[in-house]
């Protein structure tokens, strides 16, 4: 006999009570599991292989700052804060309402590896069809690499990771 999760039970109750499809969809999916810490650590290490590019990434991140923040005391803007994003499951920033496109890739267990972030920064709509992120992309590979290194330099709590502290 199969047992239902709390999320599935909540979805069934909401659907049966007539609260609408929007709420049923919101409760129907369980949160995406996070990759193991070793995977996250390996992705951060890969991104920070050359910490000397972090300052270039910080300069390029200016393009992202209208919608995203990193560091301590971040706030949500049009986009979610990006602390700890490298190696994290996509669409899992607590309290942020993601687009249907992002919700779909979250359900498919997309992880923000260095390679996935690179592809996303190059052409967001190719990686996440239906995203509402209004950004055309960054064509230069070296600029994307620097931005990813800059993002990897922030832990999920907004503090700088050790490899990044050396170049501050």
pLDDT at 17: 38
All structural domains of the chain:
1-30 (no CATH), 33-165 (1.10.760.10)
What backbone torsions phi and psi does residue 89 show, to the nearest 5 degrees? -65, 140
Per DSSP, 10 falls in state: H
For 93-150, what is the HEC assignment? CCCCCCCHHHHHHHHCCCECCHHHHHHHHHCHHHHCCCCCCCCCCCCCHHHHHHHHHH
Predicted TM-score (pTM) of this structure: 0.78
Residue among 146, 163, 157 at smallest CA distance from 71 = 157
Q: Write the pLDDT tens digit of every residue in 46-101.
A: 999 999 999 999 999 999 999 999 999 998 899 999 999 999 999 998 889 999 99
Residues 125-149 pLDDT 10s: 999 999 998 899 999 999 999 999 9
DSSP string covering 51-108, please? GGGHHHHHHHGGGTTTT---STT----SS---TT-TTSBTT--TT----HHHHHHHHT
Around Cβ 39, how many Cβ atoms within 10 Å?
14
Task: Check residue 164 and give its pLDDT.
Answer: 63
The tens digit of pLDDT for each residue in 109-127 reads 999 999 999 999 999 999 9
């Amino acid at each position: 006999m199969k047992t239902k999760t709390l999320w599935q039970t909540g979805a069934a109750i909401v659907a049966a009570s007539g609260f609408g499809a929007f709420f049923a969809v919101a409760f129907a999916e369980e949160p995406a599991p996070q990759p193991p810490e070793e995977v996250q650590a390996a992705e951060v290490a890969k991104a920070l292989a050359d910490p000397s590019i972090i300052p270039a990434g910080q300069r390029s991140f200016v393009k992202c700052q209208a919608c995203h923040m990193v560091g301590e005391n971040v706030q949500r803007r049009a986009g979610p804060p990006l602390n700890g994003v490298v190696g994290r499951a996509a669409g899992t920033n607590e309290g942020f309402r993601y687009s249907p496109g992002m919700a779909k890739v979250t359900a498919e267990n997309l992880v923000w590896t260095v390679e996935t972030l690179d592809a996303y920064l190059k052409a967001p709509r190719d990686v996440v069809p239906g995203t509402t992120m209004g950004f055309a992309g960054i064509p230069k590979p070296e600029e994307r690499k620097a931005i990813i290194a800059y993002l990897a330099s922030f832990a999920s709590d907004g503090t700088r990771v050790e490899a990044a502290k050396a170049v501050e």
